[in-house]
Structure formats: C-alpha cells, structure tokens
Structure 1
Amino acid sequence: MSLIFDWLFSQYSGYSTLFISLEIIAVFFGLLSVWYAKKDNILVFPTGIISTSIFVYLLYQWGLIGDMLINGYYFSMSVYGWYIWTRKVDAKHFTPITTTSKKEKLQSVILFIAGMSFVFIVYQLFDKWNDWVAYVDTLTTAIFFVGMWLMAKKKIENWLYWIVGDLISIPLYFYKGYTFTSLQYLIFTIIAIYGYLEWKKIINNPKLQAKTS
C-alpha cells in the first residue's frame, strides 16, 4: 500500500503545505462545479470561478503559463455563462438546453483552431516547446476552449468535448506531477458521461426541460 501511495503522491515531497492545500481546495470546487453542471444548476459558475481562480494562481507559481491562461479563459467564460444561464428567453423561461446549430458547429471548429493557435503563440513567446506535453497541451486547450464555450451557451455537445479532454488530461497531469488534479480529471470524466446522459434526457423530455428552465 505504501508503494502505491508513494507512486501517486511522491511528486508532492517538495511542495509547500499551502500549495498542496490550495490544489485540494481547487479540485474540490472544480468537482462541485462539474456536478452542478450535470444537474443543470446555476451554481456551476460560482464554484467554477473559485476553482479556476485558485488554479490561475497555482499554475503561475508552477510556471505552467499555458495551463494558467486556460484557467483564466475558464474564469472569463464562467462569468459569461453565468449571465447566459440567468437570462430569460421569455417572461417565464430561462435559457434552455439545446443542441448546436450548423452555425455553432462551424464556430466550434473556428474556436478549436483559434485555441490551438493561441497556445502555440503563447508557448512560442515563453519558449515552452521543451517537452512533448506542450504539444498535448495545445490539443487539450483547444478542446476545452470549445467545451467551455458550449457549456456557457447550454449546448449538450459541451459534454463530448469535456469527456475527450478529460481522458487526455488524466495521464497528462499525473505525468506533470499533479496527482490530485489528475484524479480530479478522472472524476470529471465520469461526471461528464452522466452529465451528457442527463442533459439528453432533459432535451428529450419537454416536462423536464420546463422544470430546469
């Protein structure tokens, strides 16, 4: 058992108690945020804002500029999503869960390319092309850029992007030495699968849609 524990958490031997505590808190609120997203609950955004704020600080301290900027983007999209989810489409109903239109699918592709380009430029500026993970970061960032944008707009396809990005991030963050964050993405994946199925039920059932919107 001790060997497994050492294998999972030996990366933290040189970390301060403050950083470890902050990462655990950020992971906790991150999990809460995804859980609330699954339940179509507006609390997805305030909990997400707390989590991303802490991660922005930690990632800056760790020198992970690309990841820091991603979380900064999550923060801004959480503010935007909070506004969208509370906006009424008529006198009684808030923004409902829907599927993406052809225009939004095209916008998703454009955002994906823009996300990859953005990270490429950032990594180029900060000379971060020193490990293979930088190339994977470029891919996951683009995936999450689209996923966060679609979630803010209450599009069911957001879950598909999260599932793919989360699956890639599990081994990626473990390799980087952040076991708690890696475990977070494992749980994210499970919740995202259930989130997709739950949102699909809501879309297919007008009565459920009426209750949640």
Structure 2
Amino acid sequence: MDWQWIIEGFVAGLQQMTWLEGVAVFFGVASVYFSMRENIWVYPTGIISTLIYVWICLEVKLYADMGINAYYFSMSIFGWYVWTHPKEGKEVLPVTWLKWKGWLFSILLLLASYGVLYSVLSNFTDSDVPYWDSFTTSSAFVGMYLMAKKKVENWIAWIITDLVSVPLYFYKGLILTSFQFLFFTVLAIIGLIAWIRSAKHYAGEA
C-alpha cells in the first residue's frame, strides 16, 4: 500500500475542503458510528449530513447521489419512527436476518432502481459517470431500507456502496469525501460484525 499517496491525497482533500463538506463529513461519520451502536442518534445526525450532500452533489453533477441523499432524508424519518415504535411487547426493534422474501425484494429493488437511474442519467442529464453514480445510488437504496428495518444485511449493501464510492468521489475532486467513504468501509465491516452478534443475542432471547 502506497501510504505516501494516501497521506498526500488526504492533505490535498483537507486543502480543497469547503466548510460545508467538512460539516457533512463530520455528521456522516457520526451517523455511521451511532448506527453501529444501534443508537437512535443515527437518524438526526444522518439527516443533517444528507441534506448538505444534496447540495454538494448538485454542484458536482452527481445527480443520482443527490437523489439518494434526498432518499436518505426520507428514510431517516421512516427509520426513526420504526426504531422508536417496536412491536407490542418489545422494548426495542431487534436486529434480525433477512428471509428469502427479503433477499428477493432487495435484489429486485437494486436492479429496478439501477435500471431507472441509469436510464435517467444517461438520457436526461450531463452526468459523465452514469454507470457508477447509478450503481452506488441503487445499492445505497437497499442499504438504507434494510437499516431502517434493522436487518444485518444492510451492512453488506453499505460495504459495496462505500467501496465503489471511494474512487467515484476521488474522480470528482471531493477528496475528503472519498476518504470518508474509505473510513465508512472500515466502519461498515465493524458494524456487520457487531450486528451479527446482536442478531444472535436477540435470537437467544426469543
């Protein structure tokens, strides 16, 4: 691993960073941390970050990612409600695994959203990265939905999204945001491990 390149890229990102991107990164990292901890603060911090990124993505012509951040905002409100209104007899919404129907729905959601987004971006916008912008957005659609439902597999979707987002944002000149997604990848792996343990714990209580 070329650590010199990584350090130079990070320094360049700090130099190019606007105060608005810095605020968005801070609250984005905080949101992922709270998600790992199954803490309800995942949603208010996430709402702040996503609203800022709607504007940032519009400025750099990442239109699908602009749309996904608007989707994050609405799903954060939905997830906030679901997490704070568990089923009767339950103190909290438990972490669980997807059943086969859930997997089928998630795959169909991924494919359908990718097809629609790519068609829109390639035909109606000046996006120069329609393939990748559509892919990260559609995989994030799935991740956000599964997180709101407290499914372990949400972390798999986030790991895929984050890994592809690293070079995408670097290419767009948002260096610090690119490093944020690299950091998110590490956090998502930790989150996956934590939620697997949590799912086993909740299954043992059932």
Residues of 2 paired with 1:6 and 1:94: CA distance? Answer: 44
Q: CA RMSD in A?
A: 2.5
- What percent of counterpart residues are identical? 44
Query: Residue 25 of structure 1: which of 13, 23, 26 is its match?
Result: 23
For the pair 1:40 / 2:38, whether they are aligned, the reply is yes
The reply to whether residue 205 of structure 1 matches residue 201 of structure 2 is: yes
Deviations 1:110-138 (A, max 9, x none): 11012102312321343335x3x321112
Indicate if the aligned counterparts of 1:96 and 1:209 stay in contact, CA closer than 8 A.
Answer: no
* TM-score of the aligned structures, taking structure 2 as reference length: 0.88
1:163 and 2:155 equivalent?
Answer: no
Instruction: Tell me the CA shift for residue 4 of structure 1.
Output: 7.3
TM-score norm. by structure 1 comes to 0.86
Pairing partner for 1:63 from 61, 64, 67: 61
Shift of 1:91: 3.5
Which of 181, 184, 199 lines up with 1:185 in the alignment?
181
Q: Secondary structure at the match of 1:156?
A: coil
Amino acid at match of 2:96: T
Report deviation, 1:103: 1.2
Question: Partner residue of 1:135?
Answer: 131
Q: Render the CA deviation track for 1:6-37: whole Å, top value 9, x for unaligned.
A: 65565787x7xxx7101010010000000000
Q: Does the CA-based 8 Å contact 2:159-2:185 persist in structure 1? A: yes
The unaligned stretches of length 5 or more in structure 2 are: none
Matched, 1:88 2:77: no
Aligned length: 204
Q: What residue is the counterpart of 1:73 in the other structure?
A: 71
SS of 1:205's equivalent?
helix
The answer as to whether partners of 2:62 and 2:133 remain within 8 angstroms in 1 is: no
Change beyond 3 A, Cα 1:126–1:11: farther
Query: How many angstroms does 1:64 deviate by?
Result: 2.5
> CA separation in 1, counterparts of 2:14 and 2:130?
22
Aligned-pair CA distance for 1:188: 0.5
